[in-house]
Amino acid sequence: MPDVFAGRFELLDPIGVGGAGTVWRAWDRRQERLCAAKVLRQRDAGALLRFVREQGRRLDHPNVLSPYGWAADDDMALLAMDLVGGGSVDNLVADFGPLPPRLAAELLSQLLGALDKIHTAGVLHRDVKPANLLLETTGTERPMLRLSDFGIAIAMGEPRLTVHGTVVGTPGYLAPEVLAGAAPSPRQDLYAAGVTAWQLLTGAEPPERGSLPTRPSDATDPIWDVVTDLTRADPATRPESAAEALAALAPSLAEPLVVPAHTPDGEVIEVFDHLPEQAPERRKGGRRTAVVVAAAVMVAVVGGGSAAVLAVFDPLGESPLPPGTSASPLGTGVSETATPASSATRSADPQIRAGQPCGWQVAGSVEKAADGTRVECRQQGSSYLWVKTN
């Protein structure tokens, strides 16, 4: 791995490892700031296609974390995005348990605002879950949520990269119609947002299959009405849009958010910095590597054969690709979950083994380990490890 990627990004220290690549804390020489750099090992055409798809999702919204630039160097590709250090909503619930309804409503409102933005732009996320909701390091102040990981997102009406019968997403957050093979729709993202809100309020993980447990008898806050509507089995009975759901959430937001918020036991809820305390000192200059990729040839499997897709782009580009191109992430809470109804489709990754450390940025990722078993990146105390799931 070069110290300086494509002559622009100084890779300082790895902060997360996933099956498709590594997330680095990096210094962007052009913009003169720290960033998160997701470096992809171009092992297969599907991952590269999804990578291009993600880099094309440039959405300007305070609650959306999308790439602001990218680069290619030798056989690697890199996505640059804001460095977000407060962990994820998944971490927050793991640390503090059920959140107060007003704080949960605040986070849900930010998530719905982000979904309203991307849906209005014609984009479906398809993997909304707490691990993909990153948090700025705000301490005990008002939290700031960032919807991340657009690797399996698609434009409405855009051809899917998966074969017939493949389910894309994360078990537990999939709307019932997804499992039945329905075409992607905004209401599926809203269902996942409702499951996420349920998790914020209960502190429990949703069942991978079947309905959520019924609303607790003592749950009187109006946010529960929104959760119930968002998670209805029939998509036609869910809110039509994120904006509609946000309007329904208004009663839960009527009272000002009091900070610091407290758990039922009186513990102060804090979004603290999850990144290592100090990155290695940035090099003065560093080795400059030549950019050798001015065009990428991506091979996509279509039916039983293959089709070469040629995408020509500026290797240090900061503008979206033309419509119809696509992408994949590789780190920040990635799941890249493309699970057929009967068996997994991912090949084993020789670099991943159960018990090895992973990073909070890939918490929730499910991969196939070197021995063929499925492993998930989970928080174990103060660390994150690959844990066997089968």
| Cβ atoms of 189 and 115 closer than 8 Å | yes
Local structure of residue 224 (DSSP, 8 states): H
- Identity of the residue numbered 53: R
Which stretches of 85-222 are DSSP H helices?
89-96, 101-120, 176-179, 186-202
Separation CA 357–CA 264 (nearest Å): 32
Peptide bond into 260 cis (omega under 30): yes
Separation CA 91–CA 103 (nearest Å): 15
Separation CA 379–CA 362 (nearest Å): 10
CA 267 and chain centroid, separation: 28
Please give the biggest Cα pair distance in the chain: 63
Separation CA 118–CA 116 (nearest Å): 6
3-state secondary structure of 200: helix
Separation CA 45–CA 53 (nearest Å): 12
**Residues acting as catalytic residues:** 127
Helix 89-96 vs helix 186-202: crossing angle, to nearest 10: 20
Separation CA 301–CA 275 (nearest Å): 38
Separation CA 47–CA 49 (nearest Å): 5
Tally the C-alpha atoms within 13 A of residue 24's C-alpha that lie toward its C-beta: 23
291 in the Ramachandran plot: left (φ > 0), alpha (ψ -120 to 50) or beta? beta
Helices vs strands, H then E, count in the chain: 7, 17
Handedness of CA 112, 84, 65, 95 (dihedral sign): negative
